Structures are given as structure tokens and as C-alpha cells.
């Protein structure tokens, strides 16, 4: 069973429908008790970093998420859910993230005529060793909608990058922790392949 964390800010139903279309059971959770019952965890997200952390704290989910990650359960953060894995964000001032990965979330600079947010289809530069990206061809297109992106302190945590004015981290991978800055549930065949890979993780 895959737990999809609901903290009032995620695109919960589209993520759940994507798993259902692949014949995989998932359940929406908002408390530590139900989180512990599941074998894998997904943290989706759309919205503000500080608001998301405040809601997770209210639900007493912060320590529960860290506990399950430390127990080795496969974890996937999507969009804001990926950003929350890091220590802090330029969006949120002094608000701390989950702090399970080292690094900071930064905002795209407005330069060279680039529009912010970065919205639409863009190509991944893939590290084929990452289990989440198994079978995903280099330069595959995925769907983005974001103004901020993570900058991991440990560059070995970057499993795929994307170019938007400059290269930025699009997928992170550290042991059982995975994050996608794009929306796999909206990324057609490539996104389905990524979700299938997550389902198959031990």
C-alpha cells in the first residue's frame, strides 16, 4: 500500500488516480498512525513552502515522515513535496524544511526573458543509475510548474537535471529518498514509467 500524504495543499486526487490506473493500491493519509501502516510514501504538493510545513507540523507528521524514511521506506516527493525534503527555501525565510537532504531551495532569477514560473514541458538529463529513472530515455519530456528549485549540497544526490536559463536539479535520489520537481502524474508515458519504477521499489 502506498501512502499519499494529504496536508491540504497537494494534487492528491490526480496522484492517486495515476496509481489506480497502474493497478496499485494507495490511500490518502493525514496522521502518523496511518502512515506507519504503508510500505511506500508519496508527498505531493502545490503551494507555499512555509504553509506546507505549518500544516505538516499541525498534523504531527514531520517526525513521523522522518521516522519512516529512517526505517528505509521508499519515499517520493513531488514538486513542493520534493522541495520540502531540504533544509530551507528562499520562499520561506526562516522556516525549516524536513531537513532530510542537505541544501536549499532557490527561486529562478528573472533574466534573459525567461518566464517565472517555469511552466510546461521540458527535457530531463538523466542519470540512468537511478532506480526511479530506469528505462527513462535521456532528454525525455516531463511537465513542470514551479518558481523554485532545489540546489542539493551533495551533487551526487542529483539524479536528473533540466535546463531553464541554467541547469537545475529536476530529480533527487539519496538511498530510499526520491524527489521529482516535475509532475509525473501529468507527464504522460514518461511519468507513468517513473511511477511504475516507484511501485517496483523494494
145-147-151-152 Cα dihedral, nearest 10 degrees: -50
Is the Cβ–Cβ distance between 96 and 104 less than 8 Å?
no
Instruction: For residues 91 and 16, give the distance between their C-alpha atoms in angstroms, rounded to a whole number.
Output: 28
In the set 79, 130, 162, 169, the catalytic residue is 79
Which candidate in 91, 162, 185, 202 is catalytic?
Answer: 185
| C-alpha closest to that of 133 among 187, 67, 71, 65 | 187
Q: Count Cβ atoms below 10 Å from residue 70 Cβ, excluding itself.
A: 10
Ramachandran angles phi, psi of 17, nearest 5°: -65, -35
Active site residue 79: yes
Q: How far apart are CA 94 and CA 188, in angstroms?
A: 37
| 183 counts as catalytic | yes
Enter the C-alpha cell of residue 53. 510545513
Give the three-state DSSP class for 101.
coil
Q: Catalytic: which of 118, 146, 174, 183? A: 183
- State the catalytic residues: 79, 183, 185
Amino acid at each position: 500500500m502506498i501512502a499519499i500524504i494529504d496536508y491540504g495543499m497537494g494534487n492528491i486526487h490526480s496522484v492517486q488516480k495515476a496509481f489506480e490506473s497502474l493497478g496499485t493500491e494507495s490511500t490518502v493519509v493525514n496522521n502518523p498512525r496511518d502512515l506507519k501502516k504503508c510500505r511506500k510514501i508519496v508527498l505531493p504538493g502545490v503551494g507555499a513552502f512555509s504553509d506546507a510545513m505549518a500544516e505538516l507540523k499541525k498534523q504531527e507528521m514531520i517526525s513521523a515522515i522522518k521516522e519512516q524514511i529512517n526505517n528505509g521506506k521508499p519515499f517520493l516527493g513531488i514538486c513542493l513535496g520534493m522541495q520540502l525534503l531540504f533544509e530551507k527555501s528562499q520562499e520561506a525565510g526562516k522556516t525549516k524544511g524536513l531537513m532530510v537532504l542537505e541544501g536549499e531551495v532557490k527561486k529562478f532569477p528573472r533574466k534573459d526573458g525567461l518566464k517565472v514560473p517555469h511552466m510546461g514541458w521540458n527535457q530531463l538529463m538523466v542519470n540512468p543509475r537511478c532506480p526511479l529513472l530506469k528505462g527513462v530515455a535521456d532528454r525525455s519530456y516531463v511537465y513542470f510548474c514551479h518558481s523554485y528549485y532545489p540546489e542539493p549540497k551533495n551533487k551526487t544526490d542529483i539524479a536528473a537535471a533540466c535546463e531553464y536559463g541554467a541547469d537545475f536539479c529536476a530529480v533527487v535520489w539519496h538511498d530510499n529518498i526520491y524527489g521529482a520537481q516535475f509532475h509525473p502524474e501529468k507527464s504522460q508515458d514518461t511519468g507513468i514509467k517513473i511511477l511504475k519504477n516507484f511501485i517496483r521499489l523494494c
